[in-house]
Amino acid sequence: MPIDPDVAIGAELPEIKFSWTHSDVLLYHLALGATELRYVYEQGLRVLPTFGVVAPRFHETAPPAVSFPGVDVDLARVLHGTQEITVHAALPAEGEAVLRTRIADVWDKGKAAVIVQESTALTPDGTALYTTRSSIFARGEGGFGGERGPSGRVEVPEREPDVVIETPTLPQQAYLYRLCGDRNPLHADPGFARAAGFDQPILHGLCTYGVVCKAVIDALLDGPEQVLSFGAKFAGVVFPGETLTTRVWRDGSQLVLTTFAADRPVLTDAVLSLRDVP
């Protein structure tokens, strides 16, 4: 059975020990389309909080395998569903850490399975650097008799957005972003993309996630250190070269946002929470 929730839920995945340098951070920022000196030059480098989600596998060159205890799914069926990161302190430009991950839930959506993972990155002295919660949406893998799970909708205010941000992506964005540790052929190989049901390769969800987080920081915040957490649902695919339109509402100590590509929602249920920076 490709999915066995009794085995999967609660399973601990092997720890990942990892380290990163300025060069990794610079490449990550460039792959998001950064041109600002504070993101692309090692002196005075500011680290985007979303770097945390790619840092553990940054040097991976093989396509990801969707194979965990109780889960064995063809990569072509899988889409990134949701992503959240909470950074307990601003990320340094270099360091080392260990990532501990468990499968938190497996939901049965009938036509799909949603596999939820939670991870914590700890520094060598045991301090929690950041935590993440993410899900993958495995098409055609539902119907195993599991619970349906929550719908997880975030209310968007009815008023007009406080700010609207336009962010172009590059035609070669996915080719660049592959160098940040996700060599899923879905983002480069037209034949693989067609077999997965798309007319052309699609952009990595985590690339959209990083591009939008950066755009919001640059438009509205004092810097990346002000982000406590950022979570979003990948509600629609983005094709490299499309322009992203992000509608942002201020809501106390958080920002609620929705991102569109053309008129299609691509990031929904998106909330960026602010840290009090002294």
Ligand X SMILES: CCCCCCC[C@@H](O)CC(=O)SCCNC(=O)CCNC(=O)[C@H](O)C(C)(C)COP(=O)(O)OP(=O)(O)OC[C@H]1O[C@@H](n2cnc3c(N)ncnc32)[C@H](O)[C@@H]1OP(=O)(O)O
Question: Which of 99, 114, 217, 244 contacts ligand X by CB under 6 A?
Answer: 114
The encoded tokens of residue 130 equal: 């950041």
Say if CB 13 and CB 102 are below 8 A apart.
Answer: yes
**C-alpha dihedral, 213 to 22 to 186 to 5, nearest 10°:** -80
Instruction: Give the relative orientation of helices 205-220 and 22-31 as an angle to the nearest 10 degrees.
Output: 90
59 noted as active-site residue = no
Q: How far apart are the C-alpha atoms of 227 and 118, rounded to whole Å?
A: 19
Nearer to ligand X, 33 or 205 (CB): 205
Using the rule CB under 6 A, is 66 a contact of ligand X?
yes
Chain centre distance of CA 190: 23
Nearer to ligand X, 78 or 227 (CB): 78
Smallest separation, CB 251 to ligand X (Å): 22
Number of chain residues interacting with ligand X (CB under 6 A)? 25
Interface mask toward ligand X for 201-240; x: CB under 6 A: -x-xx---------------------------xxxxx---
User: 3-class DSSP state for residue 165?
Assistant: strand
Nearest to 126 by CA among 100, 93, 91: 100
Nearer to ligand X, 233 or 275 (CB): 233
Amino acid identity of residue 1, one-letter, is M
Using the rule CB under 6 A, is 77 a contact of ligand X?
no
Catalytic residue selected from 182, 199, 204, 263: 182
Nearer to ligand X, 80 or 214 (CB): 80
Question: Which of 17, 59, 148, 264 contacts ligand X by CB under 6 A?
Answer: 148
Which residue matches tokens 């499968």?
Answer: 103
Give the residue numbers annotated as catalytic, written as ranges.
182, 187
